[in-house]
Every structure is written in C-alpha cells, then in structure tokens.
Amino acid sequence: MRRYVPAIVGVALVVFMAVLPLLNLSLPGILPTPTYMPGTLALLSLCMVFAALALSYNLLLGSGGMLSFGHALYFGAGAYGLGIALEHFGVPLWPGVFIALIGGMVIALVTGAVSMRVSGIPFAMVTLAFAQAGSVLVRRNSQVTGGEEGLSLNTDQVPDFLIGVVNTRNLYWFALAVLVVVYLVTLWVDTSRLGHLARATRENEQRVRVLGLSPYRVRLIVFVIAAGLASLAGVAYMLLQSGTVPRSVSADLTITVLVMVVLGGVGFRWGAIVGGVLYTLLDQRLTVLAGSDAIAGLPDWLRVPLSEPLFLFGVLFIVVVMFLPGGIAGTIDAAARRRRGEKVRGALRQLDDAGETPEAAAADAAASDRVRA
C-alpha cells in the first residue's frame, strides 16, 4: 500500500488544482487576489507553465546528466512555432500546436546531433551557441517573428473559449493539463528502459559502451523528448500571454530554468515542479516588494539593493546552494533517508541487546506471518 501513496497524493493534488478556480481562497502576501479572480488564475497558470518547463529540463539534467544552456531555444520554438503557424500558415489551433511540437523536436534533433559530439562544458557551450543563434534569428527576422517587438497571437484561429480575460479559467485548466502531460511523460521516461540507460550513461558512459549499447543514441533520444516537452510548455505560454518575445529563446531563460531546477532539487520530479512554482511566485512578489513604499523609505544602502529583484534572487540562490545543496526536494529526501537509517540502526541495537541475530528475527517474523495466514 505504501508504494501507492505518491500516486494517490499526486492525483489528489491534481484534483485540488482543477477545482481551485471554483473556490474562494485567499493567500495574502502570496497570491494577489482570491483564487477565482483572473489575476490569480493567470499567475498560477504561468507557474504551471514554468513548472512544466523545469520538469523538461530536469529530465535533461537530472536523468541524462546533460547541462544545457540552450534549452530555452525549444521553449521559444514552441511559442514562435505556434504563432507563425497561426499567422502565416492560417491553420487552426490544434494543427498549429502539432506543427509547433514537430518543429521544436526537429530543431532539437539537428542541434542535439551536433552538440553531443562533445560532452561536459564543451556541450554546454555548443548549446549556448545554438541558443544565441536562435535569439539573433528571432530578433533580426522581423517580418516573420516580429523582431524585438515579439510576435502576437493570431486569435482568429483560436477557439473563443481560449481567448480573453473572461476565459482565464479555461486557460488555467489548459496549463494544468500541459503540466500533467509533461509530468506523465517524464515519469514514463524515468521508469522505462530508456531512463535506466540514460542514468547509466550519466554515471558511467564507458560501461554502457562496453555492454554494446550506444550512449550517444540514448542521450539524443532523451534530448529530443525533453525539447518536445519544452515546446509544449512554449505553446501553453503563447496562449496564456497572447504572444511571445525574443527572451523566450535566449540563454537567459535557460539560466532561469536551471535556477528553478537547482532550487527544487536536481533529479526530483516534484522538486522541479516546486522550484518552478516557487520561482515564478517569488518573481512576481519580489517585483511588487521592490517597488513598495516600505523599500522606498529605507536608507540608500538598503534601498538600492533591495529595490532590485535580481539581487534578491541572487541572495536566495546563494542561500539555497550553501545551506540546501540538494535543493528543497533533495534536503527533504536526505532527511527522510537519515530517519529511516536511524530506525534500522535502532532496531538492530534492540536485537543485539536481546541477544537475537537479525537472521533469527527475520525467521521469527516469517513464522508469525505464516501462523496468522
């Protein structure tokens, strides 16, 4: 029964998040308005989009061990791909989503095939170069991508129930569906043979090669899947924001997502979700705090740094790295492991004091179970 607890908790959380727009809940200092209001729903939708993006990056870094500085390229490919498909191809929404996802995965296949000719820091630098190239193409090609102004969503091809402030609730449910899909795909990859091979490649690539397997192929497949999930998050972002800007392709966004994953805990799916949600909430609330009257009334030596949200984020990141090196999820997992270890050691000490060996105790327990049966 214990192994089903995470699944039960996950389903309960999804159900709670699904009915949240129908409730009148207030969290002063965290959410700007009650949960049924469009402003709060838009913020929570953005949290889920970046949680999905963080999950896709965690698949890349946590499972595959690939430190990429260009993951935002595929997020931007999803957002810009949908916008271009609707604006220039004139296709309906759902074929446009399909085109955006396929386009993002094709770009990932090409760039990943080149990037994985190297590993480690050189791999990170090559992915950074591809991201910068994508950012330049987006900024310079104003007729297709809108240039520095960004690309607006062509709402003529979008169903009415996904347009406007009055339909923020529907967009919220769409973002929740995207997060659930991304989580299920990452769960499937992590628990499949592909995930086991990816982790084996991360730990010892030479051993995988000796076994007659191809580490290059394994990493490339994981890379393309993670890119496809990032493109799906980009599609959701495009619909939520009714447009996108060049920053969605830049390496700056990848650094932001990396901070989300490190904050939540590298290698933990639920940690990536917590990191994405927490970072997005902090980004919004710290921006409000930086412009508040309370900060404006401080002396200059305090007011100047505290009025910069990036400074506050930098301090937070330093604190997490120093005091929570495994992130939120990693710290909780380490504490749980220590607690289980202490229980096992306590049980062994009790057996030792009673003069009974662990093997005898196990045999007695098995005999008791047979008697009860």
Q: Strands of 111-267 (E only): list them.
A: 151-152, 243-244
Grouping H, G, I as helix, E, B as strand and the rest as coil, residue 162 is helix
The one-letter amino acid at 232: L
Tokens of 37: 């209001």
The one-letter amino acid at 351: L
The one-letter amino acid at 22: L
Tokens of 200: 């084996």
Residue 45 has pLDDT above 90, yes or no: yes
Q: Report which listed range, 193-197, 226-230, 261-265, 303-307, is most confident.
A: 226-230
Among 97, 62, 106, 109, smallest CA distance to 260 is for 62
Report the alpha-carbon distance of residue 86 to residue 106 in Å, rounded. Answer: 19
Once rounded to an integer, what is the mean pLDDT over residues 98-124? Answer: 93
Among 104, 85, 103, smallest CA distance to 94 is for 85
Report the alpha-carbon distance of residue 95 to residue 92 in Å, rounded. Answer: 6
Q: Is the sign of the CA dihedral 36, 39, 42, 47 positive or negative?
A: negative
Confidence of residue 251 (pLDDT cuts 50, 70, 90): confident
The burial of 342, by beta-carbon neighbours within 10 Å (0-12 exposed, 13-18 middle, 19 or more buried), is given as exposed
Residue 150 has pLDDT above 60, yes or no: yes
The DSSP H or E segment spanning 322 is helix 309-323
What is the maximal distance between C-alpha atoms in the chain? 82
Residue 368 has pLDDT above 80, yes or no: no
The contacts of residue 119 (CB under 8 Å, 6+ apart) are 205
Once rounded to an integer, what is the mean pLDDT over residues 166-170? Answer: 91
Tell me, what's the pLDDT at 102? 95
Q: Tell which wins on pLDDT, 247 or 103.
A: 103
- Tell whether pTM > 0.85: yes
Residue 105 has pLDDT above 90, yes or no: yes
**118 DSSP assignment:** S
Lowest-confidence segment of 94-103, 167-176, 307-316 by average pLDDT: 307-316
Tell me, what's the pLDDT at 372? 45
Contact 56, 71 (CB under 8 A): yes
Report the alpha-carbon distance of residue 100 to residue 98 in Å, rounded. Answer: 5
Report the alpha-carbon distance of residue 33 to residue 123 in Å, rounded. Answer: 44
Residue 73 has pLDDT above 90, yes or no: yes
Once rounded to an integer, what is the mean pLDDT over residues 99-107? Answer: 95
Across the chain, mean pLDDT equals 86
Residue 103 has pLDDT above 90, yes or no: yes
Contact 48, 178 (CB under 8 A): yes
The contacts of residue 132 (CB under 8 Å, 6+ apart) are 250, 251
Report the alpha-carbon distance of residue 164 to residue 42 in Å, rounded. Answer: 11
Among 43, 44, 1, 39, smallest CA distance to 19 is for 44
**Could you give the C-alpha distances from 101 to 58, 72, 83, 96, 249, in angstroms and in order?**
19, 14, 12, 9, 15
Tell me, what's the pLDDT at 100? 95
Tell me, what's the pLDDT at 108? 95
Lowest-confidence segment of 202-211, 260-269, 297-306, 314-323 by average pLDDT: 297-306
Among 356, 78, 104, smallest CA distance to 235 is for 78
Confidence of residue 96 (pLDDT cuts 50, 70, 90): very high
The contacts of residue 173 (CB under 8 Å, 6+ apart) are 18, 21
Q: Strands of the chain (E only): list them.
A: 151-152, 243-244
The full set of domains in the chain, from first to last, is 2-290 (1.10.3470), 341-372 (no CATH)
Lowest-confidence segment of 109-123, 235-249, 261-275, 344-358 by average pLDDT: 344-358
Tell me, what's the pLDDT at 362? 53
Tell me, what's the pLDDT at 350? 77
Report the alpha-carbon distance of residue 352 to residue 344 in Å, rounded. Answer: 12
The torsion angle over the Cα atoms of residues 83, 85, 89 and 92, rounded to 10 degrees, is: -100
pLDDT digits (tens, 9 = 90+) for 172-223: 999 999 999 999 999 999 999 998 999 988 888 888 888 888 889 999 999 9
Q: Report which listed range, 179-193, 314-328, 356-370, is most confident.
A: 179-193
Once rounded to an integer, what is the mean pLDDT over residues 247-275? Answer: 89
Which DSSP string corresponds to 13-57? HHHHHHHGGGS----TTTSSS-TTSHHHHHHHHHHHHHHHHHHHH
